[in-house]
Amino acid sequence: MSDGTPADLFFDAAIGLLQRVRDEEAEAIAVAGTLLADTVTAGGRLFAFGAGHSSLAAQDVVYRAGGLALMNLLAVPGLVGVDVMPATLGSRLERVDGLATAVLDTSPLRTGDALVIISLSGRNAMPVEMAIGARERGAKVIGVTSVAYATQTASRHSSGTYLKDHCDVVLDSKIAVGDAELTLDTIPAPFAPASTVVTSALLQAVLATTAATLADRGVEPPLLRSGNVDGGHEWNARVFEEYRDRIFYQH
């Protein structure tokens, strides 16, 4: 690690990654944003899924002030975060064959919907099986992953494939294998992960594109406002009522 405090170096690394995804993923972001806009205008529903820490980025776009009200969390028990006990169980569940299929079979996902699947490595059974199953059910899939894992790690799915192989659009977070940006001679392991920062930014860029695309088509984007500003709850109540059949976190 060169000159600068660890904090400075982490910010530099994160900013560098954000600049890379802004420049290198611009086309994919535009395509993904348009795909979601197409889904909204066609009457489809929007879902997001991520396991473990990847779930943080999924939750960041659900029921979020300034975000699309139609984005629903596709939750898998034990994989929504690190609240499952023990936390290591979540890592094991990601590798269980058949779990994603069971979740999809009992979810509201259907033909014409869109599903955003977030998986940093994209190598485990859960995201691969979920992407395959969602497309088999007629849904479009946007994958947010680090493509580097597909060339530097082995797939844990029986097909030998990765999340990126089963998506309509792939957004590459550019995160290095291992998800740690810094090293120090006095510390035996790399540290300071940036995947949450970058993945969340990628998704917000996509949804900003979706909102602007809808507006360009003359469709008011179904956006939520903060409940901590005057009139926010009344605004949201109107949106919830208008789109009640496409918002599942209200039920």
Helical axes 26-41 vs 6-24, angle rounded to 10°: 60
Residue 41: the pLDDT is 97
Region 31-53 average pLDDT: 96
Q: Which helix (H) or strand (E) holds 3?
A: none
Bridge-based pairing state of the strands 46-50 and 71-73: parallel
Q: 2: pLDDT confidence band, cut at 50, 70 and 90? A: low
Q: What percent of the chain has pLDDT over 70?
A: 99
- The H or E element that residue 182 is part of is strand 182-184
| The two three-digit tokens of residue 9, written as one number | 């170096």
Over range 55-78, report the average pLDDT.
94
Give the model's pLDDT for residue 78. 79
Answer whether 78's CB lies under 8 Å from 90's CB.
yes
Q: Which residues pair with 187 in a beta bridge?
A: 184
Residue 222, number of CB atoms within 10 A of its CB: 21
Residue pair 211/36 in contact by the 8 Å Cβ criterion: no
Residue 190 · residue 183 · CB < 8 Å: yes
65 versus 77: which is more confidently predicted?
65
Residue 227 corresponds to which tokens in the numbers above?
A: 């409940």
Q: What is the pTM of this model?
A: 0.95
In this prediction, residues 171-190 reach a mean pLDDT of 96
- Mean pLDDT score across all residues of the chain: 94
Supply the pLDDT for residue 198.
Answer: 98
pLDDT band at 89 (very low <50, low <70, confident <90, very high): confident
pLDDT per residue over 92-140, tens digit each? 888 888 899 999 999 999 999 999 999 999 999 999 999 999 999 999 9
| CA angle, residues 56, 83, 177, in degrees to nearest 5 | 50
The CA distances from residue 38 to 91, 140, 213, in Å, are 34, 11, 9
Higher per-residue pLDDT: 96 or 22: 22
SS3 call for 131: helix
Neighbours of 63 (CB within 10 A): 15
Q: What Rg, from alpha-carbon coordinates, does the chain have?
A: 18
Band of pLDDT at residue 72, cut at 50, 70 and 90 = very high
Q: Could you tell me the pLDDT band of residue 146, with boundaries at 50, 70 and 90? A: very high
Do 250 and 244 contact (CB within 8 A), yes or no? yes
Tell me: pLDDT of 1 over 60.
Answer: no
- Exposure string of 168-185, with b = 16+ CB inside 10 Å and e = fewer, is bbbbbbbbbebbbbbeee
Q: What angle do CA 102, 46, 130 make, to 5 degrees?
A: 30
**C-beta atoms surrounding 190 within 10 Å:** 14
